[in-house]
Amino acid sequence: MSKRMPATAPQSNDSKAVSSVTNKSNEITPAMMLEWLRQMQLIREFENRTMQAYQQAKIGGFCHIYSGQEACCVGTIAATNDDDPIVTAYRDHGHALARGMTPEACMAEMFGKVDGCAKGKGGSMHMFDKPNWLFGGHGIVSAQTPLGAGLAFAEKYKLEVMGEGKKKVSLAYLGDGAIDQGAFHEALNFSAVHDVPVIFIIENNGYSMGTAISRHTANADNLISRGQSYGINSIEIDGLDICHLYNEFKPFVDQCRENSRPGFVDLKTYRYQGHSMSDPQKYRTKDEVDAFKDKDSIAKLLSDLLGDGLITEAAWKDMQSEIKDQVRAAMDFAENSPIPEAGELYTDVYANPEKNLSPTATYTHGTKNPLM
């Protein structure tokens, strides 16, 4: 179901150089930049169509739009291996697409259809894609943080104790609103004590629902002190400039992998839409939103590419229209995918509410499951 999206970068010309200002790490190629542009634009377009579908009541439940934050998931995932595990919160469509989930599987999931990545049972907040090492999509704030540590610990254990596998790093994404949860601190402490190679990435968009970061957390302009207090290597990165992000983050990931140590990143970003689809946004001004739109990450990457002569205006137009077609096809796919059979309510669940109704009725969860 979930395959890496094919790289359809137009006129990728690796013989042309990326300017040294953009490419401080000397690892960024023109093809990489074009692929990032394509992925970020795909996420932006996908989210635009998601909002429309939500307003038409084709998508139900909670739904959180990622527009504005695209560089965060695309840039950080680009710095990992395809089989490094990742886990994130509920604002997860971008991570799913950047990890290689098809727009079809992602949109069908939101439509509650059988061809969704979780057979339509998870919805917007619960994108899950095991083949692409994406372990959700989680709605409970910060609950994914210890899971990220656990995923990294499992891989470390496999390698160091069982002698299988290879050195991996896991990425645990969370919002700025999640850093005051106890689970977050427990995960940091555990990872530091046990040398677990997990990177806690705070996608710091400045708000937790309608509460500005300075109103909900102490020391809001020095989040890295959280990581440092546990002896964890911690950095701040501008999450609106993907080339800068990659230059900073790639060596950071490599180091965590090599030394088997955790990391902490305060990744500064901004969301353009409300917290969820039902947010009147009375807590911020239009001027503030517009000021961030002036620093838009897609526009910045495009201007870097144009400046280095790595894309033409015509090629950019073609890329945008290909992406529009791709997302339109995903909408049609989701629309036409069947709704699940009623019996599906009783599969893929841990407990069987009615005996013998589920194909998993023989699974007893041990000796005493009160529901069986």
Ligand X SMILES: Cc1ncc(C[n+]2csc(CCOP(=O)(O)OP(=O)(O)O)c2C)c(N)n1
Binding site for ligand X (CB under 6 A): 91, 139-141, 175-178, 205, 207-209, 275
Find which of ligand X, Mg ion, none residue 352 binds, CB within 5 to 8 Å per kind. Answer: none
Which part of the chain contacts Mg ion (CB under 5 A), choosing from 16-24, 171-179, 292-300, 301-309? 171-179
Shortest Å, Cβ 228 to Mg ion: 21
Q: How far is the CB of 5 from Mg ion (least distance, A)?
A: 27
- Nearest approach in angstroms of CB 275 to ligand X is 5
Cα distance between residue 35 and residue 98, in whole Å: 10
d(Cα 204, Cα 201) in Å, to the nearest integer?
A: 9
CA dihedral 229, 230, 234, 238 (to 10 degrees): -70
Nearer to ligand X by Cβ, of 175 and 239: the residue is 175
User: Cβ closer to Mg ion: 115 or 176?
Assistant: 176
**Integer CA distances (angstroms), 227 to 158, 224, 261, 349, in order:** 26, 5, 12, 36
**Nearer to ligand X among residue 220 and residue 235 (C-beta):** 220
CB of 208 to ligand X, least distance (A): 4
Of 177, 215, 1, 151, nearest to 89 (Cα)? Answer: 177
As measured in angstroms, the least distance from the Cβ of 217 to Mg ion is 10
User: DSSP code of 134?
Assistant: B
Tell whether residue 92 is a contact of Mg ion (CB under 5 A).
no
Phi-psi group of 137: left, alpha or beta (phi > 0 → left; psi -120 to 50 → alpha; rest → beta):
left
CB of residue 204 to ligand X, shortest distance in Å: 8
Dihedral over Cα of 185, 150, 127, 75: its sign: positive
CB of 91 to ligand X, least distance (A): 4
Q: Which residue is nearest to ligand X (CB)?
A: 175
241 vs 266, beta carbon nearer Mg ion: 266
Q: Which is nearer to Mg ion, 9 or 201 (CB)?
A: 201
Q: What's the CA gap between 31 and 305, in Å, rounded?
A: 10
At position 297, the amino acid (one-letter code) is: S
Contact, 275 vs 64, CB < 8 A?
A: yes
Q: What would the DSSP string read from start to end of 87-114?
A: E--S--HHHHHHHT--HHHHHHHHTT-T
Specify which residues 233 forms β-bridges with. Answer: 263
Q: By CB under 5 A, tell whether 205 contacts Mg ion.
A: yes
178 binds, among ligand X, Mg ion, none (CB under 5 to 8 A by kind): ligand X
Decide whether 85 or 94 has the Cβ nearer to ligand X: 94
SS3 assignment, position 305: helix
Question: Could you say whether residue 68 binds Mg ion (CB under 5 A)?
Answer: no
Residue 244 or 268: the one with the smaller Cβ distance to Mg ion is 268
Tell me the C-alpha distance between 101 and 300, whole Å: 25
Q: Nearest CA to 72 among 246, 289, 281, 317? A: 246
- Residue from 175, 262, 263, 274 that binds Mg ion (CB under 5 A)? 175
Q: How far is the CB of 202 from ligand X (least distance, A)?
A: 8
The item of ligand X, Mg ion, none sharing an interface with residue 275, based on CB under 5 to 8 Å by kind, is ligand X
Give yes or no for residue 176 binding Mg ion (CB under 5 A): yes
* Residue range at the interface with Mg ion (CB under 5 A); choices 38-46, 85-93, 203-211, 333-341: 203-211
Interface with Mg ion (CB under 5 A): 175-177, 205, 207
